[in-house]
């Protein structure tokens, strides 16, 4: 496939051939750059088993727009499964659904490996893209710039000069580690006390889906939870999220079955006891980390994107979408400054950093919502209020989840909008409380209940609505 613009002679070195690296290769190839992608792993398209994270992904608006920009949206969404709502599995076996947005709004369940394979193949179709596998980066010289790789299958070293080094090599990014050694760099990481373990729900005896199809299934249990997303092959990928201390306390098959019978009884016949035991003890639970850093660039020579810049816990389904949007934002700034890296990279950091940090915070917040708040009547009340006001004022009142998943409103502005909504609702409710207090003042005196007590009750009620929404 030929490139559409002429940047012949300029080379971009992309470190990491995962989702964001492969998509960036497509964007840059369209601009005419010579693109070389270096990936530490073997080519996943040739492997039967691929090590690493395999939690199913939830593709939403931001990711879809990025894919659309390189002509891949229809291909990828055509192989995904839309999920229109959460399906909540209660402890007693009953279920309830909570829509994500309006009837036609859905997020898309997509398989991580398959998506990565499609993106690599799409990048490879450009005649100005070269993919290199089994190459481990060992050093970055940001002044030249130049990257040094160890070719692990041969034990040889190769030095690769270029015009830009793009670090798309994940949460434990080697490019970021190199960058931290050479510049003033702010960095923070936080491991939450919860890990995750993948489980599987096969097709039923009729070779059909064992649960309702177009839902993200959630078993919320306050301090931990399990989720399941559908696959095209009639299976569900389940993921158990809970504190490591609980994982560590389950040592035997009996421990495991007692735990699941107590906490997820309806899931046992879906997975099968023997399959559950085999899956649970086959591998250890993996950690979850949130990473923030700044700046994302070094002069006009290097830039970080995706998890290398802003790893987040997976509870808002925005990790991939945020990374894909990185590519789209970067591409827009490239157009603005006509591919001038000296102007593009600083503006990219200034523009993207505040949004990525906001999304990391939202991802942490949503874990509380998914495992706990969805059981709260106050949470459901707030959802109904938001939906009603959105129906009445669609351009003024847009719920937080809708702005994050179904629009491209900047992440930090999504939070600001929510804070404004909270303030409006609190002021409105306080007005109602005060009116009720004044109207019933004489009756209250007769019962012996003070106005201060009623005000405190009203305050607790209002705060509950917002704290648990």
- 294 and 171 within one domain: yes
Output the pLDDT for position 76.
Answer: 95
- 321 and 182 within one domain: yes
Beta pairing, strands 146-151 & 215-220: unpaired
- 147 and 35 within one domain: yes
Q: Flag whether pLDDT at 429 surpasses 60.
A: yes
- 35 and 115 within one domain: yes
Domain boundary among 347, 369, 391: 369
Q: Flag whether pLDDT at 334 surpasses 90.
A: yes
- 183 and 52 within one domain: yes
Q: pLDDT-derived band of residue 427, with 50, 70 and 90 as boundaries? A: confident
Residue 45 in domain: yes
Residue 4 in domain: no
Residue 149 in domain: yes
Q: pLDDT-derived band of residue 366, with 50, 70 and 90 as boundaries? A: confident
Domain boundary among 287, 302, 336: 287
- pLDDT, mean of residues 178-207: 93
- 182 and 277 within one domain: no
Residue 3 in domain: no
Output the pLDDT for position 467.
Answer: 45
Provide the whole-model pTM. 0.89
Structure tokens at 186: 């702010």
Q: pLDDT-derived band of residue 52, with 50, 70 and 90 as boundaries? A: low
- 139 and 229 within one domain: no
- 242 and 115 within one domain: no
Domain that holds residue 167: 11-81+107-190+288-369
- 207 and 140 within one domain: no
* 127-153 pLDDT, tens digit each: 999 999 999 999 999 999 999 999 988
Give the up-direction half-sphere exposure of residue 383: CA atoms within 13 A in the CB hemisphere: 20
Output the pLDDT for position 456.
Answer: 62
Residue 355 in domain: yes
Mean pLDDT of the chain: 90
Residue 88 in domain: no
Residue 96 in domain: no
- 243 and 166 within one domain: no
Q: Cα(216)–Cα(401) distance, rounded to whole angstroms?
A: 15
- pLDDT, mean of residues 415-444: 73
Q: Cβ contacts of residue 236 below 8 Å, gap of 6+?
A: 200, 201, 209, 210, 211, 217, 228, 229, 230
Residue 68 in domain: yes
The secondary structure element, H or E, covering residue 207 is none
Output the pLDDT for position 426.
Answer: 84
Cα Dmax for the chain:
90
Output the pLDDT for position 469.
Answer: 47
Q: Cα(458)–Cα(452) distance, rounded to whole angstroms?
A: 10
Closest to 468 measured CA to CA, from 300, 222, 294: 222
Q: Flag whether pLDDT at 184 surpasses 60.
A: yes
Structure tokens at 117: 């394979």
CATH code of the domain covering residue 337: 3.50.50.60
- Tell me, rounded to whole angstroms, the distance of Cα 428 from its chain centroid: 34
Q: Range with the lowest mean pLDDT among 307-316, 322-331, 459-468?
A: 459-468
43 or 368, greater pLDDT:
43
Domain boundary among 239, 255, 287: 287
Q: Number of structural domains, the chain? A: 3
- 401 and 361 within one domain: no
Beta pairing, strands 302-304 & 164-167: parallel
The secondary structure element, H or E, covering residue 143 is none
Q: Where are the beta strands (DSSP E) in 202-262?
A: 215-220, 225-230, 236-243
- 441 and 413 within one domain: yes
Output the pLDDT for position 182.
Answer: 81
* 6-34 pLDDT, tens digit each: 566 799 999 999 999 999 999 999 999 99
* DSSP-assigned states of every residue in 336-362: HTTT-HHHHHHHHHHHHHHHHHHHHHH
Output the pLDDT for position 54.
Answer: 58
């Amino acid at each position: 496939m030929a490139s559409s613009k002429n940047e012949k002679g300029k080379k971009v070195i992309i470190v990491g051939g995962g989702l964001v690296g492969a998509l960036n290769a497509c964007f840059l190839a369209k601009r005419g750059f010579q693109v070389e992608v270096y990936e530490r792993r073997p080519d996943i398209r040739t492997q039967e088993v691929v090590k690493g994270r395999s939690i199913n992904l939830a593709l939403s608006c931001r990711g879809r727009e990025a894919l659309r920009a390189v002509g891949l949206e229809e291909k990828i969404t055509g192989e995904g499964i839309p999920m229109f709502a959460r399906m909540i599995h209660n402890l007693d076996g009953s279920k309830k659904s909570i829509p994500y947005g309006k009837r036609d709004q859905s997020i898309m369940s997509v398989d991580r490996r398959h998506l990565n394979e499609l993106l690599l193949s799409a990048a490879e179709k450009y005649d100005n893209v070269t993919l290199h596998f089994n190459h481990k980066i060992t050093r970055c010289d940001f002044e030249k710039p130049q990257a040094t790789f160890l070719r692990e299958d041969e034990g040889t070293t190769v030095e690769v000069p270029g015009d830009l080094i793009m670090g798309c090599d994940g949460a434990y990014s080697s490019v970021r580690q190199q960058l931290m050694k050479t510049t003033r760099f702010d960095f923070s990481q936080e491991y939450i006390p919860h890990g995750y373990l993948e489980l599987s729900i096969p097709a039923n005896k009729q070779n059909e889906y064992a649960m309702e199809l177009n839902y993200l299934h959630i078993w919320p249990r306050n301090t931990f939870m399990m989720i399941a997303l559908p696959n095209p092959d009639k299976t569900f990928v389940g993921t158990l999220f809970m504190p490591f201390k609980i994982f560590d306390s389950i040592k035997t098959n009996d421990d495991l079955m007692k735990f699941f019978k107590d906490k997820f009884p309806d899931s046992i016949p879906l997975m099968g006891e023997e399959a559950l035991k085999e899956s649970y003890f086959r591998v250890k639970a993996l950690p979850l980390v949130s990473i923030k850093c700044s700046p994302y660039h070094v002069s006009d020579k290097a830039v970080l994107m995706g998890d290398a810049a802003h790893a987040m816990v997976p509870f808002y389904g925005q990790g991939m979408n945020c990374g894909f949007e990185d590519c789209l934002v970067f591409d827009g700034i490239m157009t603005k400054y006509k591919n001038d890296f000296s102007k593009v990279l600083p503006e990219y950091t200034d523009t993207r950093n505040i949004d990525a940090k906001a999304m990391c915070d939202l991802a942490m917040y949503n874990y509380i919502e998914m495992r706990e708040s969805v059981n709260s009547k106050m949470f459901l009340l707030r959802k109904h209020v938001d939906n009603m006001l959105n129906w009445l004022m669609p351009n003024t009142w847009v719920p937080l989840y809708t702005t994050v998943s179904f629009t491209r409103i900047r992440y930090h502005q999504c939070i600001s909008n929510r804070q404004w909504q909270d303030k409006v609702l609190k002021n409105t409710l306080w007005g109602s409380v005060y009116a009720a207090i004044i109207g019933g003042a004489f009756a209250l005196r007769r019962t012996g209940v003070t106005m201060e007590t009623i005000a405190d009750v009203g305050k607790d009620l209002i705060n509950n609505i917002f704290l648990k929404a």
